[in-house]
Amino acid sequence: MPLIALTGGIASGKSTIAAQLAAHGAVVIDADRIVRDVQAPGSPVLARIAAEFGTEMIQADGALDRARLGARVFGDADALGRLNAIVHPAVKAESQRRFAEALTADPSAVVVYDVPLLVEARVDDPWDLIVVADAPASEREDRLVRERGLDRDEARKRIASQVPDERRREIADVLVDTAGSLADTLRQADELWQRLQTESRA
């Protein structure tokens, strides 16, 4: 079971690559989905977030107020570090459980872990390949404004809260240039799939 890490900065086109690999047959495990799952109402992680950042981070229905928490931690490196120390261990444990589940279901599966914070939290895992979606910060800022409705200052803050692009490039086995057209990004994802298939047969 090849275990592939797919990472990239916010609005880098990483999800587009993941979706294309899934269309080819990869098992894609979404780190953001795991984050939401481990922060579900009543979870130990959510209780620790409330203890650390205040009960106002919990909505009346018991769910995490993600917008409020995001406004609290983005742009504040210390607060973001405290949040990551709560969330990352739980996400890592759950992701490893899902990797094992995928292997049990199909020992020959190609498993792709779609993980934004690879550099921050997951570099030491035994990846067979690290794939980085790469686009200039200026392009990603424009996408956040155009496609997600963020104002430009908030977009810049979100990008600045992540590690610099150079750090991701340093760990990349494969760099997918997502600054061009959608067709170009999909072509590179197709080429990556062909590489994975060739290597798995070798």
Sheet harboring 111-114: ordered strands across? 27-30, 111-114, 3-8, 129-134, 174-177
pTM: 0.88
Summarize pLDDT for 17-31 with one digit per residue, the tens: 999 999 999 999 999
Tokens of 26: 């990869």
What span, in angstroms and rounded, lies between the C-alpha atoms of 140 and 180?
12
Give the pLDDT score at 202.
Answer: 61
Tens digits of residue pLDDT in 132-153: 999 999 999 999 999 999 999 9
The tens digit of pLDDT for each residue in 91-119 reads: 999 999 999 999 999 999 999 999 988 98
Q: Which of 111, 110, 125, 114 lies closest to 171 in space, CA to CA? A: 125
What is the third-level CATH fold of 3-35+96-201?
Answer: Rossmann fold (3.40.50)
